[in-house]
Amino acid sequence: MAIGLETAIASIGAGLAILGGAIGTGVAQSGIGSAGIGLIAEKPEQLGMALLFLVLPETLLIFGFVIAILIMLSAGIV
């Protein structure tokens, strides 16, 4: 089964969209996680705020996933 060049390039683009979102999320969460643990150690009542800030970068991965789906839909892969 052979695929066209357009389909292959669209698949690579969709993968790169998810990869970029995942790398961005990981870099952001590394700093936020260590700062959040320090905050919780000093003020345990701030746990909810620390968790909120830790979850916010996950939107980058969700945006990457949505863009990948849009790329795949426009290329006719899905």
- Specify the higher pLDDT residue, 5 or 3: 5
* Domain residue spans of the chain: 23-75
When the pLDDT of each residue in the chain is averaged and rounded to a whole number, the result is 93
* pLDDT level of residue 78 (50, 70, 90 thresholds): confident
Res 1 pLDDT > 80: no
pLDDT given at position 46: 95
The C-alpha atoms of residue 14 and residue 51 are separated, in whole angstroms, by: 29
Q: pTM of the full predicted structure?
A: 0.81
What angle is formed at CA 49 by the lines to CA 40 and CA 63, rounded to 5 degrees? 125
- pLDDT tens by residue, 40-61: 999 999 999 999 999 999 999 9
